[in-house]
Chains A and B, each alone.
Chain A
Amino acid sequence: MASITFEGNSYRCDEGQSVLDVLLAQGVAAPHSCRSGSCQSCMMRVETGELPASSQAGIKETLRVQGYFLPCICRPGDDLTIARPDTDTMRLEATVSHVTALSDHVVCVGLSSQTPISYRPGQFINIFKDDATARSYSLASVPDMDGELRLHVRRFANGQVSTWIHDALRPGDRVRLSPPAGDCFYLPGQPEQPLLLIGTGTGLAPLYGIVRDALAQGHRGPIQLYHGSREPAGLYLVERLQDLAQRYANFRYFPCLSGSEVPDGFLPGRALDLALSHAPELSGWRIYLCGNPDMVKLARKRAFLAGASMREIHSDAFTHQAA
């Protein structure tokens, strides 16, 4: 017999009972549908205890390594503490170390914390302007390299949080964050696998983190990054990425411009179109997509139809709305 701890209460799980059975029998409003490990609508995360491997069947690897599992097919042998998958109710505190311009419209915000915040480059945090107002930003930093969290924030004319970050946030200010979440990050274990990363606007942030993370972890397969914008002013970190491409033979960087003005060194066209014209057959590739939601949606479909496996296509878990 195992015990299940959930939201502060402990329940007895008898031999053969699933975690979902236990929660529902106790009147917990746990989401569920197929009850056979297929639909994944009941997915939760384990905080302590050993999961039976079968309870993670079919779950994307990036979520599996974070302890996500399916309560409806989980018959635990060990005591478990489990949580709902969202982390919105939890808060961390950090200090602004700098707000640095990356382009006319984009700043990099550095955040440091006394207690180290564990994350993977490409995950996102929510930053709270006040109790009711938060926005999600992806992490462009790499823990061992940068020593602080870094976000790329684009100014939106009516964006409550982005204008606050651009105009009011100063070094030394304290801000509240949600713990890093999301499954858009690099996974070691297949160092030869080709990686394709496509981003528009500040969708570059997670990709910048993922690329540097992959290179630092010794990824040997080709890594191709396409960053797209309409105007040249919409691209940033261009020189930094060109330098990186000089240093690593397996990394290629393609700054793409879909507008009429295309200076030397930039590719004319949309990032997604260019990426797929260079790599029309994507079976065996791992794909990362970030930025404009319409681009991400279209890219998921086109990458999938070009042969990429659904499980190998990763994108931001949230949409970059006007923030």
Chain B
Amino acid sequence: MSNNLFDQIGGEPAVNVAVDIFYRKVLSDDRISHFFDDVDMERQAAKQKAFLTMALGGPNNYSGADMRRGHAHLVARGLNDSHFDAVMENLAATLQELNVPPELIAQAAAICEGTRNDVLGK
């Protein structure tokens, strides 16, 4: 099912388009922008791309342990459910802007929801 979602959305080219829109949204979102305001925007954008690829069911090798390790420093800085929700909102808004059908957006949201506890270190 997950590969199906990635292909239906348009694969890697679609993710490239989505990255700019998504990253612009999170950088403009006062609730969460401080977690994303990296000195190195390229590196940050590459992370956003990896995130979107995963959220859209694309190829990735992230384990729950990777998610915990990768976000531990943010949890230490106060990352919590409200921030996770804000990211989910921006993801949905990005996909809506790209005219992705609601049922596919729901699939992407479900994939992200599955990482919540690992990301937040619960």
Identify the A interface with B (CB < 8 A).
34-41, 57-58, 297, 300-301, 304-305, 309-310, 313
Given contacts A39-B46, A58-B12, A305-B27, A310 and B20 within 8 Å (CB-CB): yes
Nearest CB of B to A24, in Å: 14
Complex interface: chain A residues within 8 A of B49 (CB): 38-39, 58
Contact A38 B28, beta carbon cutoff 8 Å: no
* Contact partner, A304, options B16, B27, B62, Cβ 8 Å: B27
Contact A305 B24, beta carbon cutoff 8 Å: yes
How far, in whole Å, are A304 and B36 apart by their CA atoms in the complex?
14
Nearest CB of B to A39, in Å: 5
Residue of A nearest to B62 (CB): A34
Complex interface: chain A residues within 8 A of B41 (CB): 300-301, 304, 310, 313
How far, in whole Å, are A211 and B90 apart by their CA atoms in the complex?
38
Contact A35 B61, beta carbon cutoff 8 Å: yes
Nearest CB of A to B68, in Å: 15
Which residues of chain B from 43 to 100 have any CB-CB distance to chain A below 8 Å in the complex?
Answer: 45-47, 49-50, 53, 58-62
Complex interface: chain B residues within 8 A of A297 (CB): 39
Complex interface: chain B residues within 8 A of A35 (CB): 61
* Contact partner, B61, options A36, A40, A301, A309, Cβ 8 Å: A36
B contact patch SS: helix
Contact B12 A39, beta carbon cutoff 8 Å: no
Residue among A36, A41, A58, A310 with the highest chain B CB neighbour number at 10 A: A310
Given contacts A34-B60, A304-B27, A305-B24, A39 and B45 within 8 Å (CB-CB): no
Complex interface: chain B residues within 8 A of A39 (CB): 46-47, 49-50
Contact A38 B46, beta carbon cutoff 8 Å: yes
B120 touches A (CB below 8 Å): no
Contact B28 A36, beta carbon cutoff 8 Å: no
Contact A36 B59, beta carbon cutoff 8 Å: yes
Contact B12 A301, beta carbon cutoff 8 Å: no
How far, in whole Å, are A309 and B20 apart by their CA atoms in the complex?
6
Contact B27 A38, beta carbon cutoff 8 Å: no
Residue of B nearest to A73 (CB): B59
Contact A310 B61, beta carbon cutoff 8 Å: no
Complex interface: chain B residues within 8 A of A305 (CB): 24, 27-28
Contacts A34-B62, A310-B42 supplied; 5 other A-B pairs, CB < 8 Å:
A34-B50, A38-B46, A38-B50, A57-B12, A309-B20
How far, in whole Å, are A38 and B60 apart by their CA atoms in the complex?
9
How far, in whole Å, are A35 and B59 apart by their CA atoms in the complex?
10
B19 touches A (CB below 8 Å): yes
* Contact partner, B53, options A38, A41, A301, A304, Cβ 8 Å: A38
Residue of A nearest to B41 (CB): A300
How far, in whole Å, are A57 and B45 apart by their CA atoms in the complex?
15
Complex interface: chain B residues within 8 A of A38 (CB): 46, 49-50, 53, 60
Complex interface: chain A residues within 8 A of B39 (CB): 297
Complex interface: chain B residues within 8 A of A313 (CB): 41
Contact A58 B16, beta carbon cutoff 8 Å: yes
How far, in whole Å, are A58 and B20 apart by their CA atoms in the complex?
13
Jot down 21 A-B pairs with beta carbons below 8 A, ordered by A. A34-B50, A34-B60, A34-B61, A36-B50, A36-B53, A36-B58, A36-B60, A36-B61, A37-B59, A38-B46, A38-B49, A39-B46, A39-B47, A39-B50, A57-B12, A304-B20, A304-B24, A304-B27, A305-B28, A309-B20, A310-B23
